[in-house]
Amino acid sequence: MDGGALPALVHLDEAQRREWLEPLVNGRETACICITEPGAGSDVTAVSTTAERDGDGWVLNGDKRYITNGPFADTAQVLARVAGADGPAHESMGMFLVDTDNPGYEVGEPNLNIMMDGITSDVHLRDCRVGADQLVGAVGDGLPSRCRG
């Protein structure tokens, strides 16, 4: 597992570690981190992908750009702005674990990159439903979990 996935993954609870982390550590699955967006670039406070509470889960909508491992990842860590969350951007973000086979999770064509290792693609989230247990930590932990190990 590369260092890019580590900051968010160390904040998983025990059940999430068993379900999501063990397959990555054991090399059975791969992951991608969906943060960069077409309108925001690398400004994580400008993320426009949304997570809206719906019953016992969440619905994710938005577009991510230049996602390393996007074309073949099994698991995605998706940073989204939580609908209805108050406060500054860093307090209204959530990090969500998404199975890339989920309906509503769509991978775009691979990007043609020059002088870059890895394969990237866009990722589109269209009414992508995830369980309540797929939120890493609590609302407001999404951005801080990306910045500290």
- Tell me how far apart the alpha carbons of residues 115 and 100 are, in angstroms, rounded to a whole number: 27
How many domains, the chain?
1
Strand-pair category, 135-136 with 93-99: antiparallel
Look at 40-44, 120-124, 142-146 and tell me which has the smallest mean pLDDT. Answer: 142-146
pLDDT(99) > 60: yes
Q: Pinpoint the alpha helices (H) of the chain.
A: 6-9, 14-16, 22-25, 142-147
76 in a domain, yes or no? yes
Structure confidence at residue 8 (pLDDT) = 57
Confirm whether 53 is domain-assigned.
Answer: yes
In a domain, 27, yes or no: yes
| Segments forming the whole domain that contains residue 79 | 6-147
Nearest to 95 by CA among 132, 136, 63, 127: 136
- Tell me the sheet residues that pair with 130: 58
| pLDDT beyond 50 at 116 | yes
Best mean pLDDT range from 21-30, 127-136, 137-146: 127-136
Predicted local confidence at residue 113, as pLDDT: 75
Tell whether 1 is covered by a domain. no
Which CATH number do you get for residue 126?
A: 2.40.110.10
Q: At 44, is the secondary structure helix, strand, or coil?
A: helix
Task: Please indicate, yes or no, if residue 62 is contained in any of the structural domains.
Answer: yes
- Gyration radius of the chain over CA positions: 14
Count the helices and strands in the chain (H runs, E runs).
4, 8
Instruction: For residue 40, tell me if it sits in a domain.
Output: yes
pLDDT given for residue 10 in this prediction: 65
Residue 1, pLDDT above cutoff 70? no
pLDDT in tens, 131-143: 999 998 767 664 5
CA distances from 147 to 47, 101, 106 (A): 15, 27, 26
In this predicted model, which residue has the larger pLDDT, 9 or 95? 95
Residue 52 has pLDDT above 60, yes or no: yes
